[in-house]
Amino acid sequence: MSKTLPYSMKDVGYDNAKFRHRSLLKTFIQSSLTSNVKRECTKCSTGKFLVLLLIGGLTYLMITHTSTSVSVSSNAKSNNIGTEELSSLRRFWRKPPRLPPRLSPDEMSSKSVPNRTLEKLNTKSIWMARQQKVKEAFLHAWSGYKTYAMGYDELMPLSRRGVDGLGGLGATVVDALDTAMIMGVEEVIVDAGSWIEKHLSERISGKGQVNLFETTIRILGGLLSAYHLSGGQGGSSLHKGPKPVVYLDNARDLADRLLVAFTSSPSDIPFSDVVLREHSAHPAPDGMSSTAEVSTLQLEFNYLSYLTGNPKYGLESMKVFEHLKTLSKVEGLVPIYISPHSGEFNGENIRLGSRGDSYYEYLIKVWLQQRGRNSTYLFDMYEEAMKGVRHRLVRQSVPNGLVFVGELPYGSQGSFSPKMDHLVCFLPGALALGATKGLTKDKAVKESILTFEDLENLKLAEDLTKTCVEMYSVTSTGLASEIVYFNTEGNSESGPDGGNKSSEYVHDIIIKPADRHNLLRPETVESLFILYRITEDPKYREWGWQIFEAFEKHTKVDTGGYTSLDDVTTIPPQRRDKMETFFLGETLKYLYLLFGDESVLPLDEFVFNTEAHPFPILGNLVKQ
């Protein structure tokens, strides 16, 4: 036979549902009903009488309490009747104060929505203000160029004059145009568009030697992006300036002249240089082409083929990748030189810095542009290469463990070099794009498209982005040098640090005297932009703002423009007198987008060429 559970008389005074003290009345009733008194008293008439009296008294109190409440609302004078007697009874029988109800986590979340909304609005206003600062910087850079160098390739802001270092096609005009369109700076759109309409065609037909790679990514890429953003085929917005067809006509004319670099080569690897007015091409003086340069043409030529309906541009450029697919590699990694005569790699130097970088970038970006168009082999090459990077090139610094990508200057059998160009800071963005295919991380998780390797690549992207930011933080100016070296276990580099003794990583990073310059490069802010869009982590915005403030403090020229620096480790830094076109075309564009609305140029709808010119992903377009 089961026994009753033991309990203490203290339990009688508590209401278990709310864990609060019961009223005296409840306690009395509970005690009466649970004691032997009930059983004994109800056996006699006196006990029965007392129970009935108790019930009658309770009923009377309830009735008088209710009637009093009603009478208060109907006749205020009745408050004087029996006030003292009723109040004394109520004090005796009053209910204990009720505790406020406990909210569920969901209810608590909904209650805090107004506060979170307000916080979000405040945060949004901060980033809108910072985005406006970037626009002001762009206008300051453009004003210097327009005043002292309009029509030249680049501005020398200290000597206040222009210089042609990229073939004389007005590279800054074309490179900056789509940035102005994205920012909505109509006066710059009119200035640049009018110059292109009046002068560029003549320049293209009359100029001499240009570099195939630089002309394709800056001029051809800029024209095609401007065509789209100005309302051309598939475009979504209109701006002042010439009709979009002006940009497309110039792009077609330029590409027809550049094609000779492909068609005159004895292999599928194009020559590096083109003479525009002669429709001729030739190799570089040493006979070699850069691996990165020959494989960083395809986004532009593919898009031109789509726009014109003429497949020749895409076909010629894609022959390069189809050929590179057949060559032997070191776990997907390739040497930085290739011969257009033999079609074979030259030398063994493997790196993701200069002359190697954008080969890996365009593997994933061309695949994204061409998805569903027989380009699966590009993604396979990309995946193999990233495995090779993780296995062969990724190391950690000492004493604080920064993750970095080094080099194999003597090939797979040679020694490892802990050298990392600032150019390598494109890689985190490329890794993140390859992992989520341009979607946010949360969306990619919900759609179950992330593989284990994707997650590894995304983690590497985040680690490398931090390293790239620390390359800025370790210097006295807060701006990165062109090249750094890392101290590693058993291989400590000798040399000076970046000058910022308060940096946690001052002993991890070495900056040699010849590498201390800064060219206003965009690679780190490019990766910050992509990582913020994909992870939605606000730290990437904050890091970008720190970098922008350093540019403003140390590179801004009062008379107009911004200048490169000779030494980022000293204050004040020595200035170099050069504003690269990519400062307007890339650096400021990525900063503006980093601080702006995530719906502008979404990464699952647009792919940026290596000069930050956005093209729509072809699979998303419907031909009109």
Q: What is the pLDDT of residues 73-91, one digit of tens each?
A: 444 444 444 444 444 445 5
Question: Can 300 be counted among the known catalytic residues?
Answer: no
Catalytic residue among 153, 175, 178, 214: 214
Distance of CA 600 to the CA centre of its chain: 12
Catalytic residue among 357, 407, 463, 611: 357
Q: How high is the pLDDT of residue 240?
A: 82
Whether cis (ω within 30° of 0) applies to the bond prior to 572 is yes
Pairing of strands 209-211, 273-275: antiparallel
Sheet holding 289-290, edge to edge: 289-290, 337-338, 345-346
Q: Is the dihedral of CA 590, 594, 596, 597 positive or negative?
A: positive
Q: How many degrees, rounded to 5, is the angle at CA 30 between CA 29 and CA 34?
A: 120
Asked whether residue 230 carries a pLDDT value surpassing 70, the answer given is: yes
- Residue 456 is given by DSSP the state H
Q: Tell me the whole-structure pTM to 2 decimals.
A: 0.81
Q: What is the pLDDT of residues 559-587, one digit of tens each?
A: 999 999 999 999 999 999 999 999 999 99
Confirm if 425 and 405 have CB atoms less than 8 A apart: no
Q: What is the pLDDT of residues 26-47, one digit of tens each?
A: 554 455 544 444 444 445 566 5
Domain residue limits, the chain: 11-65, 418-619
Burial of 175 (0-12, 13-18, 19+ CB in 10 A): buried
- Residue 381 is given by DSSP the state H
Q: What six digits make up the tokens of 506?
A: 């001052």
Confirm if 402 and 512 have CB atoms less than 8 A apart: no
Q: What six digits make up the tokens of 612?
A: 């930050």
DSSP per-residue letters across 247-260 = HHHHHHHHHHHHTH
Q: Is the dihedral of CA 28, 33, 37, 43 positive or negative?
A: positive
* Residues placed in the known binding site for Ca(2+): 610
Catalytic residue among 361, 482, 515, 611: 482
Q: Which fold has domain 418-619?
A: Glycosyltransferase (1.50.10)
Q: How high is the pLDDT of residue 48?
A: 63
Q: What is the pLDDT of residues 152-186, one digit of tens each?
A: 999 999 999 999 999 999 999 999 999 999 999 99
Question: Can 84 be counted among the known catalytic residues?
Answer: no
AA letter at 453? E
Question: Can 357 be counted among the known catalytic residues?
Answer: yes
* Residues placed in the known binding site: 610
Q: How high is the pLDDT of residue 371?
A: 87
- In the predicted model, what is the mean pLDDT of residues 42-54? 62
- Distance from C-alpha of 196 to C-alpha of 399, rounded to nearest angstrom: 53
Question: Can 523 be counted among the known catalytic residues?
Answer: yes
DSSP per-residue letters across 291-330 = HHHHTS-HHHHHHHHHHHS-THHHHHHHHHHHHHTTS--B
